[in-house]
Chain A
Amino acid sequence: MEISLAAEKIGHIGSLPVTNSMILSWIASLFLAVVAFLASLKVSLIPTKVQNFFEAIIEFLYDTANSVLEDEKATRKYFPLVATLFIFIITNNWLGLLPGVGTIGINEISREGHEILVPILRSGNADLNMTLALAIITMIAVQVFGVVAIGTFKYAKKFFNFSGVIEFFVGILELLGEFAKIVSFSFRLFGNIFAGEVLLVVIAFLVAYIAPLPFMFLELFVGFIQALVFTMLALVFIKGAISEAH
């Protein structure tokens, strides 16, 4: 039973190494693109069952965004990023539970000398690079939204507040907090999904039949909750960034 913290490299494109979680996230992106294209082909006023399903997803995300942002115009502006985050993360998480992910692989000789199995597919968010990328995109987007909404000067005054000594230190702490949010976003998602993978591997190693079932349910649930938490936290930070300092 081999567990690798870092995603294993499968090949190279030019000089860029391709890891197994990258391959699965490409598959997830392709899957989402195809589904989105097919779903938008026949859109009618009276929805069919398929259209109803997609409308339910969009309605759920729109209501979540509305309940946090509390402003219809703001929701319309920031909905695309937030909904994409949710749909992308949940697709990556759930695709990582399919049979074959983590089990089909290539036999290689590891650095210590013995033979290990390198899986060809691995859950997309079980790679810290991926979650770090999502976190950085989200936090940069939050800063940009804040600047666009209330102006550069007022936004900078939240972090560089010269109206008093205590306010100045609070501003510096807020600035540090923005970087801490990047770390916390990425580690929360990475830790949950990677630990889930390790849990499933260990349980399947101990008891191969029936016992892994409740843990698969747990992983389905955790995948959904982590996508929801990422989205809601992004929404809360957007709301904090676009509102005036109090």
Chain B
Amino acid sequence: MESGLSLEAIQTIASAATITIGAIAPAVAIGWIGSKGVEAIGRNPESAGKVQTSMILAIAFSEAIAIYALVIALIVKFV
């Protein structure tokens, strides 16, 4: 007789936990980057172009971490 959780139950729980915990840090990071970027533009509107480029780059880098967590969650659930 099988005792404990089935494989499918563990897969679902693990997949949900992965993406939930994995998205906390990137969300905080993107908020931080955005706020610093807007602050920099407000202080020096002439440098808006340069600041915007760096800001978008930094946001893309930190979002990639959330995407890694999402891909692992999908792999755990569906493979």
Partners in one complex: yes
Contact of B70 among A4, A195, A228, A236 (CB under 8 A): A195
Residues on B with C-beta less than 8 A from A5 are 74-75, 78-79
Does B40 lie at the interface of the complex (its beta carbon under 8 Å from any beta carbon of A)?
no
Give complex CA distance A188, B64 in Å. 5
Residues on A with C-beta less than 8 A from B61 are 184
Residues on A with C-beta less than 8 A from B71 are 187, 190-191, 194
Contact of B78 among A3, A68, A184 (CB under 8 A): A3
Contact: B56 with A229, CB < 8 Å? Answer: yes
Give complex CA distance A3, B76 in Å. 13
B41-79, CB < 8 A from A: 49-50, 53, 56-57, 60-61, 63-64, 67-68, 70-71, 74-75, 78-79
Give complex CA distance A233, B60 in Å. 9
Contact: B63 with A68, CB < 8 Å? Answer: no
Main secondary structure of the interface of A (DSSP, over half): helix
Q: Nearest-CB distance from A232 to chain B (Å)?
A: 6
Does A192 lie at the interface of the complex (its beta carbon under 8 Å from any beta carbon of B)?
yes
Contact of B67 among A68, A187, A228, A232 (CB under 8 A): A187
Which residue of chain B is the closest to A226 with respect to CB atoms? B60
Residues on B with C-beta less than 8 A from A232 are 53, 56-57, 60
Does A243 lie at the interface of the complex (its beta carbon under 8 Å from any beta carbon of B)?
no
Give complex CA distance A229, B75 in Å. 25
Does A170 lie at the interface of the complex (its beta carbon under 8 Å from any beta carbon of B)?
no
Known: A5-B79, A67-B53. A198 touches B64 (CB 8 A): no
Which residue of chain B is the closest to A183 with respect to CB atoms? B68
Q: Nearest-CB distance from A89 to chain B (Å)?
A: 13
Residues on B with C-beta less than 8 A from A194 are 71, 74
Give complex CA distance A190, B75 in Å. 13
Give complex CA distance A187, B74 in Å. 13
Contact of A233 among B57, B67, B70, B79 (CB under 8 A): B57
Residues on B with C-beta less than 8 A from A236 are 57
Q: Nearest-CB distance from A78 to chain B (Å)?
A: 16
Residues on B with C-beta less than 8 A from A191 are 64, 67-68, 70-71
Contact: B68 with A187, CB < 8 Å? Answer: yes
A171-200, CB < 8 A from B: 184, 187-188, 190-192, 194-195, 198
Known: A187-B71, A191-B68, A232-B57. A67 touches B63 (CB 8 A): no
Give complex CA distance A190, B60 in Å. 14
* 4 new A-B contacts at CB < 8 Å, known A5-B75, A188-B64: A5-B78, A187-B67, A187-B68, A191-B64
Q: List 6 A-B contacts (CB under 8 A).
A: A5-B78, A184-B61, A191-B67, A191-B70, A191-B71, A232-B53
